[in-house]
Amino acid sequence: MYLLRCMGEKNYRNRFDTRHSLCERTAHLVDLDNLTKGEKLTANSMSCLAHAYASAAQYCDGHLSVVATSHHSFPINVFEWPFSAQRLVKSGKDGADEILAAQVEDLLQVVGLNRVVIGSGDHYFVPAVIQFQAAGIHVHAVAHRSSMSTALRLAVDSYSYIHLATEMVAA
């Protein structure tokens, strides 16, 4: 398996100053392969998808964000994601899921974290949801209606849907 860690810090522990608003106490785990539904997008369509995600997830500047993808869609998915984020790449079956799930223990150590948004509909994240909830952290999922697993939808505290319009897909 291919693993590349790009642009971002590993130490999340004191990332947030708890004296600030709720906006600064949210973390995002975003599976770009899931949100793009495996489609190759243009830079413009990735920007549109990112802004649809941001609206559904109530993203604010200052949120801690981790985005992951496989090497197959690495350039567009990672470099065209318009928000500040730690960018991770791992290939193989469930590669992006695995590398995002590996971040859970570190995120549980973040001081003042009270909300996590999972940008995926994959059931792979149900164990992470349970861990966050056990720590008193609200978990919200954002995914396409067609890719939101029943297990994840039932496990999270809240969820919202986004859609990928066919005109966004690169020719």
Domains, the chain:
3-8+24-168 (3.40.50.1010)
Q: Taking the model in full, what pTM does it have? A: 0.81
User: How confident is the model at residue 15, as a pLDDT?
Assistant: 39
pLDDT at 77: 67
Q: What is the pLDDT of residue 117?
A: 97
Q: How far is Cα 115 from Cα 138, in angstroms, rounded to an integer?
A: 5
User: Mean pLDDT for each consecutive 10-residue tract of the chain (171 residues)?
Assistant: 29 38 76 83 82 91 86 72 83 85 92 93 95 96 94 96 60 41
pLDDT given for residue 140 in this prediction: 97
pLDDT for position 45: 81
